[in-house]
Structure 1
Amino acid sequence: MARPAQVAIVGAGMAAASAARRLAEAGFAVSVFDKGRQVGGRMASRRDRETGLRFDHGAQVLRAHGPAFRHCLDDWRARGIVAPWDAPGTDAAVPDMTAPVRDLLAGLEVHVGRTVTSLTRDAAGWRLALAEAPEARVFDALVLTPPAPQTERLLGSMAPNVGAAGFAGLREAAYAPCWSLMLATPQELPFAGDVLRPDEGPIAAVFRESAKPGRSETAPHVTLHASPEWSAAHLEETPEAVEAALLAALGALLGMAIAPTHRRAHRWRYALVTATCGAPYLYDAAARLGYAGDACLGPRVEAAYDSGAALADRLAADLA
């Protein structure tokens, strides 16, 4: 029997996971490469080693607008991978926001801590250069899912005539940044409900991590997202400076001095899509090269899922 087509996927966020699962179920051999320490992309979670507290410092919730992702959420809810939280029609993942991506990638070949530095394509297929380890395999097709600017830089490592067709839309995508601040406090912070969303100021939202479903850590801890405007204005500041500034802003908002037992800032340079590529996915049929992500359809987890699935269907049809 002929071997199944080999597909390399760069990135391990929701778009990559959606495409990987769809292609694997269609009978293709999928290999996923991501530079991070774990899968999830911007559906990220971090556990503090000293306190043991878990923080979802990227995307916070999942919502469905269309039938495909609604079916997915229903399945995850039935299996305890997501649960309702904060508002009607809104779910949080259990035990953290990486859980849905981990479920989609379960049983597949996934390599974390692997940074793809350049791409080449010859008559045999696609080859990946990795910063950490050699990769000798040749792939029949390639799916890229990092944020559009990072994908553009990766495509720039190739010969100018490879993968050029159909990728101009990457330049149309735009993002707003976000500084995220993870805080543990001696007592619960005094605001009503599980999410605080100020009308103005440096802070966009504060999320009670201990109130999310399926969390075993009950000690008070929150994740704060700075506003896009504030994040852009302070984008290149040090994490320490951002921590101090946002802690002061939160204290002023709540009318109290806050002495956290743990604090850590994380910068998302490409946090929120503000302009899209204008298509569900980008694809060069001759090169068997595709791009998927929320940059294609909009700033939602569902958009990344739909984009990855749509690209996988197109690629599967071409590889069949």
Structure 2
Amino acid sequence: MTDTDTTRIAIIGGGLTGLITAALLERDWATENKQKLGITIFEKSRGVGRMATRYRKPQTDSAEEWQWAMGVQSFSAKSDDFKHFIAPFIDANTLVPWQSRIAHIQSGHAEILADSSIDTPKHPCYISSPKMTSWGRAIAERLTHTEIQFKTRIAPLTDSAVNQQGKTPRTELYDEAGNSVGMFDWVICTAPNVQAAELFADTSFAAKDKISAPTMQACYTLMLGWQDKAHLPARLQDKTRQWSVLSIADGILDKIFIEHDKPEHGHLLPSVTIHADNAWSEAHVDEAQDVVRASLIKAVQDVLGWDAETAPTHIDMHRWRYAATTDNPLTPVPLMDVQKRWLVTGDWCGAGSIEACYQMAQASVTRVIQPS
């Protein structure tokens, strides 16, 4: 591909928004454009689809393992467009339905569990199989005009990096070491808004002030594992438990998920994921991690009621620095500088869900294909 016959698009961030943006660009580009398309996704980590990720831990001296969905546990599909997009992945069994049973309690007091009502989601829910990272990888594998550069952190942009001499502006991007990574006709940033604000801080990006408008909160994830089902606390035993998700209205916890209840997860050792309340997580985001961990373990033990014989065998914790958007979604989206052909987007611009990733990607592709 040469500069004259190819439109080159940079996507900063290989999360689900970035991957879906590339997929929709590849799908829709030829209908409106005669030029060839070349997309480069720059991802600072080693993998894609970080919003839907997992952590696994083999049991010592055993082929069996624990597995936890650290980020998004499942997602719903409400719009027809999104249902159409995920249909091939459902057909390929990469996405499988999960009819979770959700119990709602008003606080973390264990004694009210027996009085909890059980319900199911109003819209069909899906999980990625055999692990939460599978869908992101499947999207990436289907891309034909896209390359992904892992472990590449893009340096903050500058106005001087924009070449205005041709028919359209082109931006030269650099990595954090100062090396040029290419010249691009479009730059689409899909990073969390705090990181996006840093990337555009020293530019005259037309919508720069709006990037920091939504407030993002943290989330702590606690991951528990037991050596076998026989050693689970009584409230987690299959014969007495009617729920697979426990939603807690008050206190420092938000939800408890039973991983080995999920479709095609029956081979796992007993694995339980706990998400802390976002507001509590944000208030303690910079606190000593051992203190946070101890607080979460105590709160979960109050709910699940284990003793020395039924305590978890494995305990781990992860901190999501930017996990949830608290303010109203931005309108319109994406944030765009038409003169520079820069776009800023992400699930944080909308509802913060996986379907929001699709909606933000869809809006960005529309602006790129039909910029005027």
Are 2:129 and 1:94 aligned?
A: yes
Residue matched to 1:6: 8
CA distance in 2, matches of 1:238, 1:48: 24
CA distance in 2, matches of 1:264, 1:140: 43
What SS class does the counterpart of residue 298 from structure 2 fall into? helix
Residue matched to 2:155: 117
Shift of 1:256: 2.2
Between the aligned residues of both structures, percent identity stands at 27
Specify whether residues 239 and 3 from structure 1 end up closer, same or farther in structure 2 by C-alpha distance, changes over 3 A only: farther
What SS class does the counterpart of residue 214 from structure 1 fall into? coil
Among 273, 289, 299, which residue is 2:352 paired with? 299
> Tell me, which stretches of 5 or more residues in structure 1 are unaligned?
none
CA distance in 2, matches of 1:229, 1:294: 19
Residue matched to 1:69: 82
Greater C-alpha Rg: 2
Residue matched to 2:295: 245
Among 31, 34, 50, which residue is 2:43 paired with? 34
Normalising to structure 1: TM-score of the pair?
0.90
Compare 213-222 and 14-23 and name the one that shifted more.
213-222
Shift of 1:231: 1.0
Specify whether residues 238 and 132 from structure 1 end up closer, same or farther in structure 2 by C-alpha distance, changes over 3 A only: farther
Q: Is the 8 A contact 1:54 1:217 kept in 2?
A: no
CA distance in 2, matches of 1:317, 1:62: 30
CA distance in 2, matches of 1:81, 1:44: 14
Among 305, 321, 335, which residue is 1:269 paired with? 321
CA distance in 1, matches of 2:305, 2:210: 46
CA distance in 1, matches of 2:181, 2:89: 36
Are 2:221 and 1:180 aligned?
A: yes
> Tell me, which stretches of 5 or more residues in structure 2 are unaligned?
30-35, 101-119, 165-169
Are 2:104 and 1:54 aligned?
A: no
Are 2:289 and 1:224 aligned?
A: no
Specify whether residues 136 and 57 from structure 1 end up closer, same or farther in structure 2 by C-alpha distance, changes over 3 A only: closer
CA-atom RMSD, angstroms? 2.2
Residue matched to 2:108: none
Specify whether residues 188 and 81 from structure 1 end up closer, same or farther in structure 2 by C-alpha distance, changes over 3 A only: farther
CA distance in 1, matches of 2:45, 2:197: 19
Specify whether residues 113 and 133 from structure 1 end up closer, same or farther in structure 2 by C-alpha distance, changes over 3 A only: farther
Q: Is the 8 A contact 2:200 2:208 kept in 1?
A: no
CA distance in 1, matches of 2:13, 2:131: 19
Normalising to structure 2: TM-score of the pair?
0.78
CA distance in 2, matches of 1:188, 1:3: 62
Deviations along 1:241-284, one digit per CA (max 9) or x if unpaired, are 22222111111112223633222211112111112223231111
Specify whether residues 210 and 7 from structure 1 end up closer, same or farther in structure 2 by C-alpha distance, changes over 3 A only: same
Residue matched to 1:236: 286
CA distance in 2, matches of 1:10, 1:150: 11
Among 248, 255, 260, which residue is 2:312 paired with? 260
Alignment of 1:144-155 (within 5 A): 144-155=189-200
Shift of 1:113: 1.8
Residue matched to 2:17: 15
